[in-house]
Amino acid sequence: MTILVTGGAGYIGSHTCVELIDNGYNVIVIDNLCNSNPRCLDRVGLLTNKTVKFYEGDVRDQKLLEEIFSDNKIDCVIHFAGLKAVGDSVNNPWHYYDNNLNVTLVLTKVMEKYGVKNIIFSSSATVYDVNNPMPLGEESKTGNCTNPYGWTKYMTEQILKDMARVDSELGVALLRYFNPIGAHHSGMIGEDPRGVPTNLMPYITQVAIGRRDFLSIYGDDYNTPDGTGVRDYIHVVDLAKGHVAAVQYLEQNKGCEAFNLGTGTGYSVLEMVNTFKKVNDVSIAFKIVERRDGDIGVCYSNPDKSNKKLSWKAIYSLEDMVRDSWKWQSQNPAGYAD
């Protein structure tokens, strides 16, 4: 079985490629490398003893996409390709709508032409209404997104739902991620953001390695045990294994289903910092600064549906997550640039 992974050279995509190959799937990657590095796929090859077939290009390039589908018998698509920085989406909304919606429209058009009927979409907990009670289940209210990035995920889900409604042969899994952190246990692949990190863990690791002076913690007056924001963090390898489970699910099921991929446990920012310091025996300088607009105090998942329907469960602990994050960063101080 051959899987096309769009955006497969990225952080989550590369870890998913490893898990797919380890489970016997053939993997093809298309990535325009706007926020990734081709060395990552070289390391995927070293980890799996398989050379990943790679096409450099934009998923919106229909001619290239048709070449890929024509030259390869693709059975399923895992769709990661898209821009993903929340703050950047607020400042550049047109860019996000143009990219994130059109990649899906072109991709599904070519899938239909070549008779490919299974797609797994890289969605996000940002599709949930901020006013929902916790924990968030798949039945929780969606919409009322706080930024264009979230709206592109919400709109893409709607596009795929509508397509599945009129095509009974189509199988769609909408995987709603919470907060992926960690790295492959080897330390060979991990999160390597370009520029200033927009997520917590790579910022912590860059402070620890000396690339940043201190971590800014946005607010300590939330209604949480220590006043800092609480989120559901999941090991990226657990997340990658969730994609393999989704592929296996679509081999037996059609229609469109949403699945939360999270641990069901919330950890505060200070808890993350203190656990990182304790497990890795390194110091982390931080400052408390004002809250960011749009941030909420608490967000965590109810993953019961994924546990039951996908036969998947997150197994790695917070200690595993921070240890593997630091192993990646300490072995690769400048990321893939090393």
For helices 200-209 and 269-280, angle between their N-to-C axes, nearest 10 degrees: 40
List residues bridging with 78 in a β-sheet: 5, 120
Distances (CA, A) of 211 to 9, 151, 206, 284: 23, 33, 5, 12
**In terms of Cα–Cα distance, which of 206, 157, 199 is closest to 330?**
206
Please name the helix (run of DSSP H) or strand (run of DSSP E) that holds residue 42, with its range, or none: helix 39-48
Q: What b/e readout covers 307-327, taking b as 16+ CB neighbours within 10 angstroms?
A: eebbebbbebebebbbbbbbb
Catalytic residue set: 149
Q: 12 near 189, Cβ under 8 Å?
A: no
